[in-house]
A and B are shown apart, each in its own frame.
Chain A
Amino acid sequence: MTVADIVKRAGIARKTFYENFTSKEECFLAAQEYAMETALERVVAAAGSDVSWPRRVRAGLAAFLEYVAEEPALAKTCMVEALAVSPTSIGYYEESQQSFVSLFRLGRDVSPRAKALPETLEEAIVGGVFWIVYQRLVAAEAETITELLPELVEFALTPYLGAEAAREIGAADVKGESGRKLKKLAN
């Protein structure tokens, strides 16, 4: 991809591009920043709609996966291709993961095992979720990514609540969701 490709798609003059960005890389970083912020906003909004932490995690993860499924090209640009741009973009990617970490950390307030949980647990959970999403984007399977919700919820909640409770919350409401999906298709 060249600056010429970008200005053509954006329908702007080359001059306008250079008024806003000094290079393709800078433009890439801005796109990455924008997408990551949007994703985080959606996650926070969705998670805020519930009071129970496990359900918040579920709602937040669902919002994240839906965003990826809705915008697979943008997601791929920001979570796959941006990594190949420069160490700066890798750094940005790493940093944006940290915002998700704090959302998971709230689980320590409700976990009976809170004191025993490893310090790096949330970092590892977020890293695992991002890796799964990365793999699906590389394999061009973004459209079906929302199907992974139950298992990712279970993966994220198990250390806090134990496998059984985590599985229940992961599987909860799936009928309701597919019901909504069917309705959407029917309309």
Chain B
Amino acid sequence: MSDPVNPVESPEFPPELARLPPGRHGLPREFVAHNQRERLIAGLAEAVAENGYAGTTIAHITRHAAVSRRTFYEHFSSKDECFVAAYDTVMIELRKRVGEAFEQEEEWPQAIRAGIAAMLEFLTAEPSLARLSMVEALVAGPVVVERYDAAIQSLVPYFEAGRKGRSKEILAGLSATTEEALVGGMVSLISRRIFADRLDELEPLLPDLVEFTLTPYLGSAEAAKVARAS
């Protein structure tokens, strides 16, 4: 199991992660190691998308990553550990994109809209990563499930920011669990479509999700206006 499959013979090989030139490429050791780790993470995502978490073996991962089994074990002690690394990588990227989109808008309702749009865009563009982070994460063991729960809860502050400056009447209508329920509802819509492999339905969800999440803060008419604005 030490010789990697030739990427040319492996149709699922991610083209953006072309194999390093063989032999003495003169690349610094650290760069190669970093690159290998990233490739293994990408390999795991592809393998999990193809076989599910339970059906994925180290051999699947190394084949997709086009590295040797030995290289795998230089970076990770198990499939679980590689999955956790992949999950964290996806979440860092997703959080970054959502955070940046949110920060770019001055008004809170528009910032929410931009943040949700960025999330949907990322998940649509990366089907394997979408499945890994929203479906397979749940079956990948308690360590990942805990991270999954925390990742969802980490969206709560974006919505809590919407309480600022609201009237007494509006605030009276918000409870301690409002944001949690909004985030849970939003994620359930998204993950159900990823689960059913209906990724083309993700981006069209934007207006509904925006209206749903803004309604408690702005009232339904105003929330609909922001949601349906072009």
Contacts and interface: CB of A to CB of B under 8 A. Distances in A.
Given A94-B192, A97-B188, A124-B189, A151 B139 contact: no
Interface stretch (A45-53, A158-166, A177-185): A158-166
Contacts of A134: 184
A135 B149 contact: yes
Given A91-B195, A132-B184, A159 B139 contact: no
B184 A131 contact: yes
Nearest to A148: B177
B139 A124 contact: no
Interface stretch (A8-16, A68-76, A113-121): A113-121
A90 interface: yes
A87 B177 contact: no
A155 interface: yes
Interface in A69-105: 83-87, 90-91, 94, 97
A158 B192 CA distance: 24
* Chain B contact residues: helix, strand, loop or mixed: helix
A163 B208 CA distance: 18
B212 A121 contact: yes
B183 interface: yes
B181 A152 contact: yes
Interface in B172-199: 172-173, 175-178, 180-189, 192, 195
Given A84-B142, A118-B207, 12 more contacts: A91-B195, A94-B195, A120-B189, A120-B212, A123-B188, A123-B192, A131-B180, A131-B181, A138-B149, A150-B175, A152-B181, A159-B212
Interface of B: 52, 54, 135-136, 138-139, 141-142, 145, 149, 152-153, 169-170, 172-173, 175-178, 180-189, 192, 195, 205, 207-209, 211-212, 215-216, 219-220, 224, 227
25 contacts: A84-B138, A86-B54, A86-B139, A87-B52, A87-B136, A120-B189, A121-B208, A121-B212, A124-B186, A124-B188, A127-B186, A128-B181, A128-B188, A129-B181, A131-B188, A135-B153, A135-B180, A152-B181, A154-B173, A155-B216, A159-B215, A163-B172, A163-B216, A167-B172, A167-B173
